Structures are given as structure tokens and as C-alpha cells.
Amino acid sequence: MPNFSSRGLNMPESPIRKLVPYARKAKEKGLKVYRLNIGQPDIKSPQAAINAVKNIDMDIFAYAPSEGNFDYRETLKEYYHTLGFTDLTVDNFIVTNGGSEALSFTLSCLCDDGDEIIVPEPFYANYYGFAEALGIKIVPVVSTIDTGFALPEIEKFEELITPRTKAILLTNPSNPTGYLYSYEELRKLTNIIIKNDIFLITDEVYREYVYDGLIHHSVLEFPELKENTIVVDSESKRYSLCGIRCGFLVTRNKKFIELALKFAQARLSPVLIGQIIANAAHYEPDSYIENVRKEYTERRDLLVKLLNEIPGVICPKPKGAFYCTVELPVDDAEDFCLWLLKDFEYENGTVMLAPAQGFYSNQELGKKQVRMAYVINKEDIIQSIKILKEGIEVYNSLT
């Protein structure tokens, strides 16, 4: 057999999707599988977006401009103006096929083979995959469950910066922990970025979904970082439009836009229909986001309460997004997750979770943890945690 690339062989499996075949088999056995593993909301997409699909009238589905349709970028500009960034123009945006492509473009523009990106962990598992594909080294800064995954002391970042460091990468609010970085934390990071003249990349796709009266602060708020910040954004979670694959990059750095456009041209075109749908979604009344935020708040409160009632479970209360990273009273969370799907059922159902090891560079740190997404309705949350509690008891009696 011909040889394969080390890049392909070393590419990590998704901890979010790797158990899908086992969930499929459980479903084939007649079980209801409660999917807490993946951030696919069950929230209905905006009616304005649905109407846009129904009303498409085109004779030719042509390439979109590589940087994205002008009318959609104009809409994005107006959206960011409502956030307070009124200096931005359409030229500060490049439309991508999902937030994933936006991040891939960003890393490709900033890093050469062997360069380093500092990332607080646990981090979104695909960051590691993007880095591996591009020959970039992820340098982790560990945050811990006992502090609710707050950023560690700022000196920890300073200690890790080397001549190969190109950026610090944050998800704010965080996937997989739901942690929301405060203005003070971002201000401290700003000082490090300026001192070392590196980039600060923030994945802000969950900015609408912060709770308890807290405020999301964007890195775009810091004018001194004009040349040093890149924001990755997406419509997937904001409007429950995961399948349209519509994301974008935002930056004031003109040179970065120039370089990113080269990668955009190389892949030819962002998805045409996705832009039409996303553009329409922004015309949905503000009540859509407000109602979804209220629903997620109720789901979060319910899930966290039920989890922390299970003996030995530790679940910090997320401040944003719709995920929580949870420590279970088991020795090996991945083995437990697999067992739930292969060998366990309770009241004709089982639960699918994402083992948290894949969200850490040092997988031992996540060995007893899972990520859960509260993207299912409250009735299903109650039943899934009932199944989980019973599953923990049975699993521990067998091991």
C-alpha cells in the first residue's frame, strides 16, 4: 500500500463525533439517544431565513465573490455597528465557509511550519486539528474546573511566549466550558499582546448567549490592538444555522485582509445560498435572540442543578455559550461514554456525551471529564440526566 502523510496520520479524531457510529447502533436497537455531545441547537432557525430559502429565484447559481457578497458584508457591517464598532466598513470583513474556515485562513496567514499559538485549555477540539494540519504547535495554558475555568495568572502567558509565538487564541464565551472572559482579563492580555507584538485571535461566535446580566466584551473594544486583533465569527449558533456553513473574519488590519483574500480566492467562493440565508436572518426581529437566550438560560440552570445533585459530579455554572465541562465520578470518561452507547440503557434510552480528553493537549487532564451541550429541550434534559445518574451507578458497580 502507498504511504500516507504524517499530517494525515496524526490528525486527531473529533471527540464530539467519534462516537457517532455507536449512537447509530444504539438507535437501531430502538433506543432513544439523548445527544448532549454536539452543539447542534434544536432551536428553530429564524423565519426570515426560512422564507429567504423559499423565495430564492435564480436561473444560475453562480460563484459568489471570493470575499463574500457585497450586500451580506454590508449587513455584517451594520450588525457590527450596532455592537459599537462604527468605524468598520465592508472591507473589514471576509466571508468564509463556516467559522472553521475563518480560523483556518487566520492560522494560515499568521503561522509558518513550527510556529506556536498559545491557547487556554480546555479548548475547542478542532483547534488542535487545524494546528496539526498546518504544522503549528499548540501551547496550552491550563485552566481548571475548580476555578470555573478562569484564565490563570497572566504571568503564565508571559512564561510561554517564545520567538515562535504568533498569537494567543481565545473562544469567548468558551467552547467547551462556557467561561466568559471579563474586560479586566482581556485588558491584561492586551498588555501582553502589545509588549510582544503578537496577535490576539478571538472566536466570538457565541457572543449573543451570555447570561445573568453579564456583558460580552470583544477584543475590538481595544483601539490599541487595531493591528493585532482578528475576530472569527459565524452565523451557526447565533441563528441556529449550522448547516448553511456561513462564517466570516473581522479585522482592522489591512495587510491581514490582503493575505486572507488570497486564501479566499484559492478556494474560489464562499457558499452562495448560505449567504442569502444568513443575510436574511439578520433582519429577524431582536426578540428572536432574546427568546433564545431566555431558553438557554433556563436549560443551563436546569442542567447544572441536576448534574450537581449527582454524588461526585462537579459542574461549574457556565456564563455563556451553551456548553459545560463536567467532571464525573468515573476513572475514564471516554470508556464510560462508549459504554453508555454500547452496553447501557435505562427506560428505553441512553445518553451521548463528548469525552473531554480531546479538548486538552494533555489528555490526562480531561480523563474524568465530559462536555455537555444544553441544546435539547428541558424535558429531554431531565430524562437524560436521570439516565446519566443511573448509568454512573451501574458503571461503577461493574468496574
- Per-residue buried b or exposed e for 367-379, using 16+ beta carbons within 10 Å of the residue's own CB: bbbbbbbbbbeee
SS3 label, residue 312: coil
CATH 3.40.640.10 region(s) of the chain? Answer: 47-281
Compute how many other C-beta atoms are within 10 angstroms of the C-beta atom of residue 5. Answer: 8
Residue 280, phi then psi, degrees to nearest 5: -65, -35
Rounded distance between C-alpha atoms, residue 191 and residue 361, angstroms: 26
Q: Quick one: pLDDT at residue 16? A: 67
Rounded distance between C-alpha atoms, residue 298 and residue 305, angstroms: 11
The pTM (predicted TM-score) of the whole model is 0.94
Q: Quick one: pLDDT at residue 26? A: 94
Cross-strand bridge partners of residue 125: none
Cell 503578537 belongs to: 198
- Per-residue buried b or exposed e for 158-193, using 16+ beta carbons within 10 Å of the residue's own CB: eeebeeebbbbbbbbbbbbbbbbbbeebbebbbebb
Name which of 162, 158, 163, 154 is nearest 181 in CA terms. 154
- The CATH fold assigned to 47-281 is Aspartate Aminotransferase; domain 2 (3.40.640)
**DSSP-assigned letter for residue 308:** H
Rounded distance between C-alpha atoms, residue 44 and residue 46, angstroms: 6
CATH 3.90.1150.10 region(s) of the chain? Answer: 6-44+287-398
Q: Quick one: pLDDT at residue 15? A: 66
SS3 label, residue 118: strand
Rounded distance between C-alpha atoms, residue 236 and residue 98, angstroms: 8
Helices (H), the chain: 6-10, 20-28, 47-54, 70-82, 98-110, 125-134, 154-160, 183-196, 254-266, 272-281, 287-308, 333-343, 378-398
Return the CATH number of the domain spanning residue range 6-44+287-398: 3.90.1150.10
Q: Quick one: pLDDT at residue 17? A: 75
Rounded distance between C-alpha atoms, residue 10 and residue 277, angstroms: 36
For the record, the C-alpha cell of 39 comes out as 452543539
Q: Quick one: pLDDT at residue 53? A: 96
Mean pLDDT by 10 residues, the chain (399 residues): 83 77 94 95 97 96 98 98 98 97 97 97 91 94 91 86 97 96 94 96 98 97 97 97 97 98 98 98 97 98 98 97 98 96 97 94 92 97 98 94
Cross-strand bridge partners of residue 395: none
